[in-house]
Amino acid sequence: MSTSEVSDTDGRIQSGRLAGRTLTAAILIVAIPVLFQQSMAATVGLFDKILAGSLPNSVVDPALDAIGIGSYISWFVGIAMAGLGIGGQVIIARAMGSGDTRDGHEALGQSISLACLWGILVGAGLWFLVGPLAGLAELTPEARGFLEEYVLTIAISMPLCGILMVGSMCLYGAGETILPAVIMVAVNLANVLFSWLLSGADLEFQWFSITNPLPIDPAEHGVRGIAAGTAIAYLVGALLITIALARGVKDLRLETGRLRPTGQMFGRIIRVGAPSFAEGISMWGVNLFVLGFIGTIIERNVLGSTEGPTQGLVGAHAIAIQWEAFSFMPGFALGTAAGTIAGQFLGAGNARMASKAIINCTIAGMIFMGLVGLLFIFKGEALTRVISDQPVHLEETPKLLIICGVIQVFFALNMVVRQGLRGVGDTKWTFLITTISSYGVRLPAAWLLGVWMGWGLTGIWLGLCGEIVIRGMMFTARFMHGGWARLKV
């Protein structure tokens, strides 16, 4: 449906939760629950690393390295599921804007069917990623063993993860973000509880400690237990999201008759989602090269050609990424709001309000993420100590957080505008911009500063963060061009 085909909506959103709302109210309705949901997810990721840091000293470094690489696996899973989910989200958003609820129901049903099939394929693919990732990061044999345990346990739950993530994104398209946020509370609580219990680790904090009640050897089974807790949480989430979708929300409900695949709707979902998936894989592939750069630095240190730590650099990198995930939260929430609201306004034939929604969300994102950046700059060591007090982590991670903190405003520009463009279906251009910037700037800069010039992990992060500034400007140029407002989905 194109915006020119909508002639009777008077530029207003016609159905769904956002119908009749002011722009400010719509942004708050969408963004606040997503922000809460992302906060919970980031906290769970942090908790997994705290658990790994609470394992016996003999396995802390290899366990944190393994969980750090496991974060890349989790990122790949998110990319794979979001690439599919964005197709359903965009089509449902347009349907809500135009009042075509039948189109929304069909997109929801077939998105869930695709999620199950895609989850099986993703789970199978994870089994083949373990070895290459371990080799790329130059993991020790012990860390490699932990990584295999982590990934192979997670892989089994991928169909459940697909239902949870794709179902949540479809609800985003309808402007319903409170329900998936509530479901994710239950998911995250289950994740924290079962990961802790099954890891066997005792939690030691500054003022108190918690003894694990289960007779599990944390040195032998800790990493596998952390992964098993995540898998159980996906099961909880898949059950809850299925029940919620079957009961339905305003103008959107999962109907069993809509689960049957049809070529036309499958084609629409894949046409929008495939470039988004390709964009995610492009970004993920770049960061595999970055892991390889870190592995090269470690190898040089081992051989004595350069001075530096021979173990723990991957963990330091992972800790910085974990804290960086907290800066994503306002940007991701406001980007989701930008994409959802702009998509619905385009469905209603109102490109002016769609543009205004993206601009307002971007300004708010730059303010909030800029404040988080100040925290990174001035409290990097304290943040690192929350996860680990290993000397190599305390030496490396605060420097990385300072670099990340300085470019947070540009990071917001990158995240919110990109999410806004994806939300209206402009996935081909977001793929092109991301790929050109990542392979043309990000990789060369990280290698030049980190490896060739010998600046180590700090140099790599200078290259990574510098590229984010450039990419943010490229997304802004695409937004100002305005071609996104004329897309058909």
pLDDT at 305: 64
Condensed to tens digits (0 to 9), the pLDDT of residues 351-410 reads 999 999 999 999 999 999 999 999 999 998 999 988 888 888 898 999 999 999 999 999
- Identify the residue whose tokens are 């971007």: 362
Condensed to tens digits (0 to 9), the pLDDT of residues 291-337 reads 888 888 877 876 666 666 656 787 888 889 878 888 888 898 999 99
DSSP state, residue 210? E
26 close to 357: Cβ distance less than 8 angstroms: yes
Condensed to tens digits (0 to 9), the pLDDT of residues 192-239 reads 899 999 988 887 766 777 888 888 988 888 888 888 999 999 999 999
Residue partners of 75: CB distance under 8 A and separation at least 6: 284, 287
Residue partners of 343: CB distance under 8 A and separation at least 6: 89, 90, 93, 94, 97, 173, 354, 423, 424, 425
Report which of 58, 81, 212 is spatially closest to residue 154, judged by C-alpha positions. Answer: 81
Burial of 132 (0-12, 13-18, 19+ CB in 10 A): exposed
Phi-psi category of 231—alpha, beta or left, where left has phi over 0 and alpha has psi -120 to 50? alpha
Report which of 27, 355, 32, 388 is spatially closest to residue 180, judged by C-alpha positions. Answer: 32
* Sign of the dihedral defined by the CA atoms of residues 474, 400, 309, 459, in that order: positive
Condensed to tens digits (0 to 9), the pLDDT of residues 33-81 reads 988 887 777 677 777 777 877 777 777 778 877 777 777 777 778 888 8
Sorted by where each begins, the domain ranges of the chain are: 13-486
What's the pLDDT band for 170 if we cut at 50, 70, 90? Answer: very high
pLDDT at 3: 36
* This prediction's pTM: 0.81
d(CA 312, CA 63): 10
Instruction: Supply the DSSP string of 274-326, one letter for each residue.
Output: HHHHHHHHHHHHHHHHHHHHHHHHHHHHHHTSS-S-SSSHHHHHHHHHHHHHH
